Structure formats: C-alpha cells, structure tokens
Chain A
Amino acid sequence: MTTATPSSPAHAGSDVLAVRRLGTVAYRDALALQAELQSQRQADAIPDTLLLLKHPPVYTRGRRSLDGELPLGENFYRAQGIEIVPTDRGGRVTYHGPGQLVGYPIMRVNDVGVHLRRMEAAIVAALAEYGIEARSRCAEGIDYTGVWVDERKIASIGVHLSRGVSTHGFAVNVCNDLEPFSWIVPCGLDGVAMTSLERELDRAPSGGLDAFAELMARCFSDVHEREPVLA
C-alpha cells in the first residue's frame, strides 16, 4: 500500500512499468544514470522503470566483497581489458560483459525479499520460453540468490535500496563468454559453475540478446502485473 501524499504526484503508485532499452552502456555511466533516476523516482517524477542494457567487460564488487575474490591481481584483469568498479549493491563480486543482459529496475519496493524473488521468477519464466528449466534456490541461503539451472548459475542478482527505491538488479548470461567468471570467485561461492542460455541450449539462442531482452521485459512486467511501456 502506498500512502497518499498531499501533493498527489504524477507517479505515486503507477500501474505502468516504463522499459528503457539502452544498448551498451559503460558501468560508471549506468551508475550515474541510476542515481539520477532513483532520485526522480523517489520524488515520484517518473514511474517505476526497468533499464535493459549491456556492459563492456567489468568486474563489480558488492558491499560484502572480500579481497580474495579477485585472486589474480588487478593488473591481470586490466590486461584482459576488464575494469574493476566498487558499487553499493548487496552481494559480492560479479562479472558483466557483452552477450549478457543486464536489468536495473528503478522501482518503489516495499519488501526487498519479494523484490528479489520476483526478479528470480521473471528470469525463470523467460528461460522457460526457451525450454530451459531454471530455478531459484533462495531457500538454501543468501549466497544462493540468483537463478540456477541444476547446480549451474545462469543469472546473478544484487540490489540497493534507498528511501524505498531500488537500484541495481539482475544479469542473465545469454551468449556471453563465461571465462571471465573463472578468474574470480563469483558471489563468494567457491567452485560455482556458471552457465549461459547459449551453453544450456548448445546453440546460439534464436534472435540473440535482443529477443531475450524483449522477452525479459514482458516476463518482468508479468510478475509485477504491470503494463510495459517502452520509454
């Protein structure tokens, strides 16, 4: 329930979900954009918004990141053309790169657990359209947040909430190179095998990343029972 505010702003409790497809965005630029949209959302100047984009290769460290999670030293990673950026999201270290779909919901969130579980549900639904049976493992502990195909991790999740509005979100491995994950300890889970839609299908997913992004927008809107509006 949203509480009524005297000024009754335009987007206090919106039925729509604005979806913005941004293409490839540098991680730091995406951080700045999220901060801007977050304050606009806090002021109810914009509706709940889902950003869909790709990042150039980057390792991002969450608030619980430990030193040992980037074991090969910064120079090695930079030599591979991968940047390292600290962030304020929950969780530990992860990798983003071309071929991976990143989604940042800038939304009013009452219950952060529900928010995480809905992201998982949307990703599971999108993967099901390709015949991939994926699952949430939220019951197994906080380090298992994300989406899994058997014991293989296909999507990572981490969010930040400020004054009831979320930033950060999810990253689904669609057709990206998985090797950079092997150079780190993703999410602090040692020895976790990462996978991608392409690897699970054993072929390139039809329509590539764009088709998956469109599907993801629909599944995400569906779990929130919202109408997606392209913005």
Chain B
Amino acid sequence: MTDVVMPRLSDTMEEGTILRWLKQDGEHVARGEELVEIETDKASMTYASDREGTLQRVAQEGDTLAVGEPIARIGEGTPAAPIATPHQTTPNGTPDRPERVKASPLARRVANETGVDLAEVTGSGPGGRIVKADVEAQAGPAPTASEKTPAEPAPAPTVSDVAAAKGETSTVELSRTQRTIARRMAESKATIPDFTLTADVDMEACVALRAELKRLSHDEAPTYNDMIVKACALALREHPRANGSYRDGRFELHSRVNVGVAVAVDSGDPTSGALVVPTVFDADGKALGEIARETRTLAQRVRDGSITPPELGGGTFTVSNLGMYGIRQFTAIVNPPQAAILAVGAVEPRAVVVRKKKIAARQQMSVTLACDHRILYGADAALFLARVRELLEEPAALTL
C-alpha cells in the first residue's frame, strides 16, 4: 500500500479540496488514469494516478486537506480487508456528507482504523476540531484490549540506553497551521538571502505620549507596538521596496500598506501553540487609536480561533514583538513573499551618552530589521529603519 497525498499543484498551494472521486473505492486503477478532481484557489483539476493498483480512498468528497496529507492508498491486488466505509454514497452519486469535518490527521487515521464516522463525533479541539481522544471515546474500548495478556512485560529490555536517556518520547501530529509555519520558515531560510540591521530607538517621547494617551482615553491606550506599527506603515509608504515582494525575478510593489502583527497563540497545551499573523490593512491611513482597537480585536480573534483567512493574508510587512517577555533584541525570519520583518525588543531604561558626553538613563528600545536582499538592499533598508526611528523619537506624526 502506498499513500497518495494531496498533490502540490502550485507553488502557492497550501491545501486542496476533494471535489469528486473519479474512481470507486476498491476499483483497480492504471498508471496515468484520472483518479480524483481537486480544487485549489479558483482552479479545479483532475489528478492522474502515478502508479497501478487498487484504490482505497482516505479522504471524502468535500474534504479540504493540506498538501501532503494522504487522500488515498493504492495497493497491489485486492484491498487487504473490506474497509468499513463510514460514508455511504447515495444512489445519485452524491456523498451523504458534503461538508468538511474538521479533524486532525491523527483523528482521521484512528477513525479510519476503527470505522468511526467522523460526522457523528463531537470535536473538543479548537473550533470544534475533532482530536484523537474524541474518536477513541466514540469508538469505545479498543477491541484489542481483551487480547492483551494481563501482565504484559514492560518493553524496557528492547530499548537501548541511548534512547532511554531521553525518557519516553511522544509524537505529536502538527496542526495545519504548524505545518504551514514549518514549511514557510524553512522555505524562507533556504531561499531568501537575508541580512539584518539593528537600531536603538530613544523611546522617551513615546513613553510620554503613551502616558498622555492613557490619561485622555476612556478606552485602552495604544501600546508601544501600535505606535511601531503606525511608524512602520508611514515609513513603508515612503519606501516602496520595503513594502514589496521579490517574485519570479521581479519586484512587486504593492499599492496598499498592510502590516501583519505576529501574535503568539497559547492554547494552554504546549503542543498546540502557534504563531499567527493577523493583518492591519492600510495601516498607513489609519489613526493610531484605530490601529490599537483593530490589533486588540484581531489578537483576541486569533486566541479564540474565530479569525478568518482573509484577515491573516495580504500582509506586506510584519512586526514581531517579544519586548513583553523582556527580550532585548532578536532576529526574526522573513515571512515570504514579504521583503522584511521588524523584530522589536523591550522598552527599558538604559545608560546612554547624551549631549555634552554625559551619561543618562533613558528609555531605549532595540529593533532589528531582517531583509530579503533580492529586493531590499542595505542602504535602502538603513534609510527605512532610520525613518522608523525618527517617527518614534518624534511621535507627534503618529497621532495625525
């Protein structure tokens, strides 16, 4: 049995939807025969089998799966056993469950093995996503339990000392977001010739501004991060290449300035945390208070899982802030196809040399810009970063 996975039909494709199976479960398929119709973006396409054997479908019509997830298996001869097909097809050929059920890949596999219909399972994961435990609960006690000898010896003797040194290792299936992060970050590091610039920004004026805004506003006052988002947006408007993308040997310069704000998602479960980047669209044209409110709402929507894909896409630049964790300075990975990302450290009092070579304690913040050198060169990046600093050191322009 070989897995047939959701094919990557485009470099930009991350997931596809099974529109229609063109072969029946258990049917024999020849190499080159059309197997399934898949849709991604506004394109539907038929996908031909690259091997010969008996088809065993895994994904159902209407399922949306990430690239690389198994959609079927093709094996030699007849299927190993009559698979308990949870989804019967009605006589007119339409599946009984056209909508997609949200389930983790592990949960799908377990459901497939135990014959549990995912449509009948209530998901306990984020957004009602079905996880393995839900399927197991539905399936009841595992049938193999009775076959086990009551006092099974521990498997310790077969484990080598080296392996044992790490204790027990559990394997965690990645969520789709986690897989996307893994792929895009690796792609970024492997393909983008990046360089970084660091600048120290005097934040005294921003600290004063924030105190003033706190005094004046009934709502929560804009944070330093909101000010940084606004400063970046204004500077991006003046530096189109920092707001562009290098793609297919061309510079793509975008008319809108959309700043992504990296938000860590901590679900309380150390294995399911993720990083999500909601977008503040047209940030250059928005008032500081508007950016503050929008960012707060977006971050909340990320945390409660109600964020929608359009709110996560379309960014032309990213701001990533770890200042709240006391980080002084770090380097972020460029989020392709964006040209740059700004890594923001903590606002903290530091001893700095002021006028007349005197040393004073002033509120300082270090920011590090990571750039794709294919579109944003050193001098351009330096001018852009200098402009961001200037706007933050004289923040009156941010409040316009």
Interface, chain A (partner B; CB < 8 A)? 62-64, 88-91, 111-116, 133, 135, 137-142, 144-146, 157-163, 187
Please indicate the chain B residues that have their CB under 8 angstroms from the CB of A161 in the complex.
9, 43-46
Q: Are B46 and A158 in contact (CB under 8 A)?
A: no
Interchain CA distance A137-B13 in the complex, whole Å: 16
Q: Are A63 and B37 in contact (CB under 8 A)?
A: yes
How many whole Å from A122's CB to the nearest CB in chain B? 15
Nearest residue in B to A88 (C-beta to C-beta)?
B44
Q: Are A142 and B314 in contact (CB under 8 A)?
A: no
Q: Are B41 and A145 in contact (CB under 8 A)?
A: yes
Nearest residue in A to B315 (C-beta to C-beta)?
A139
Interchain CA distance A145-B314 in the complex, whole Å: 13
Interchain CA distance A91-B41 in the complex, whole Å: 8
Q: Is B39 at the interface (CB under 8 A from chain A)?
A: yes
Interchain CA distance A91-B39 in the complex, whole Å: 8
Q: Are A112 and B314 in contact (CB under 8 A)?
A: no
Interchain CA distance A103-B315 in the complex, whole Å: 30
Residue in A88, A90, A133, A139 whose beta carbon sits within 8 Å of that of B42 in the complex: A90
How many whole Å from A204's CB to the nearest CB in chain B? 27
Q: Are A63 and B9 in contact (CB under 8 A)?
A: no
Interchain CA distance A89-B48 in the complex, whole Å: 17
With contacts A140-B313, A162-B34 taken as known, whether A112 is within 8 angstroms of B17 at the C-beta atoms is: no
Interchain CA distance A139-B255 in the complex, whole Å: 13
Within 8 A of A (CB), among B2-40: 9-13, 17, 19-20, 34, 37, 39-40
Q: Are A140 and B39 in contact (CB under 8 A)?
A: no
Using A88-B44, A112-B40 as known contacts, list a sample of 13 further A-B pairs with CB atoms less than 8 Å apart, ordered by residue number in A: A62-B44, A63-B39, A64-B17, A90-B45, A112-B9, A113-B12, A113-B41, A141-B313, A142-B41, A146-B42, A160-B44, A161-B45, A163-B46
Nearest residue in A to B247 (C-beta to C-beta)?
A117
Please indicate the chain A residues that have their CB under 8 angstroms from the CB of B313 in the complex.
139-141
Interchain CA distance A161-B38 in the complex, whole Å: 10
Please indicate the chain B residues that have their CB under 8 angstroms from the CB of A89 in the complex.
42, 44
Q: Are A160 and B45 in contact (CB under 8 A)?
A: yes
Please indicate the chain B residues that have their CB under 8 angstroms from the CB of A158 in the complex.
42-43
Give how many B residues have a beta carbon under 8 Å from the other chain's beta carbons.
Answer: 26
Please indicate the chain A residues that have their CB under 8 angstroms from the CB of B248 in the complex.
114
Q: Are A145 and B11 in contact (CB under 8 A)?
A: no
Q: Is B167 at the interface (CB under 8 A from chain A)?
A: no
Within 8 A of A (CB), among B289-334: 309-310, 313-315
Please indicate the chain A residues that have their CB under 8 angstroms from the CB of B13 in the complex.
112-113
Residue in B12, B39, B46 whose beta carbon sits within 8 Å of that of A64 in the complex: B39
Nearest residue in B to A163 (C-beta to C-beta)?
B48
Main SS at interface, chain A: mixed
Q: Are A141 and B43 in contact (CB under 8 A)?
A: no
Q: Are A160 and B43 in contact (CB under 8 A)?
A: yes
Please indicate the chain B residues that have their CB under 8 angstroms from the CB of A90 in the complex.
39-45
Residue in B17, B20, B41, B310 whose beta carbon sits within 8 Å of that of A116 in the complex: B41
Interchain CA distance A144-B44 in the complex, whole Å: 16
Q: Are B314 and A139 in contact (CB under 8 A)?
A: yes
Interchain CA distance A146-B309 in the complex, whole Å: 17
Interchain CA distance A35-B44 in the complex, whole Å: 15
Please indicate the chain B residues that have their CB under 8 angstroms from the CB of A112 in the complex.
9-10, 13, 40-41, 43, 45
Interchain CA distance A114-B9 in the complex, whole Å: 10
Interchain CA distance A111-B247 in the complex, whole Å: 14
Q: Are A135 and B40 in contact (CB under 8 A)?
A: no
How many whole Å from B6's CB to the nearest CB in chain A? 14
With contacts A63-B37, A113-B12, A141-B310 taken as known, whether A162 is within 8 angstroms of B45 at the C-beta atoms is: yes
Interchain CA distance A62-B309 in the complex, whole Å: 21
Interchain CA distance A142-B309 in the complex, whole Å: 9
* Among all A-B residue pairs, the 4 with the closest Cβ atoms: A113-B10, A161-B45, A90-B44, A113-B12
With contacts A90-B43, A157-B42 taken as known, whether A113 is within 8 angstroms of B310 at the C-beta atoms is: no
Nearest residue in A to B258 (C-beta to C-beta)?
A139
Provide a sorted-by-A list of 26 A–B residue pairs whose CB atoms are within 8 angstroms.
A63-B39, A64-B39, A88-B37, A89-B42, A89-B44, A90-B44, A90-B45, A91-B42, A111-B9, A111-B10, A113-B41, A114-B11, A114-B248, A138-B12, A139-B313, A139-B314, A140-B313, A141-B313, A142-B41, A144-B310, A145-B42, A158-B42, A159-B44, A161-B44, A161-B46, A163-B48
Interchain CA distance A89-B40 in the complex, whole Å: 11
Nearest residue in B to A159 (C-beta to C-beta)?
B43
How many whole Å from B247's CB to the nearest CB in chain A? 9
With contacts A63-B19, A140-B314, A163-B48 taken as known, whether A116 is within 8 angstroms of B43 at the C-beta atoms is: yes
Interchain CA distance A138-B254 in the complex, whole Å: 12
Please indicate the chain B residues that have their CB under 8 angstroms from the CB of A111 in the complex.
9-11
Cβ contacts B236-274/A at 8 Å (1 or 0 each)? 000000000000100000010000000000000000000
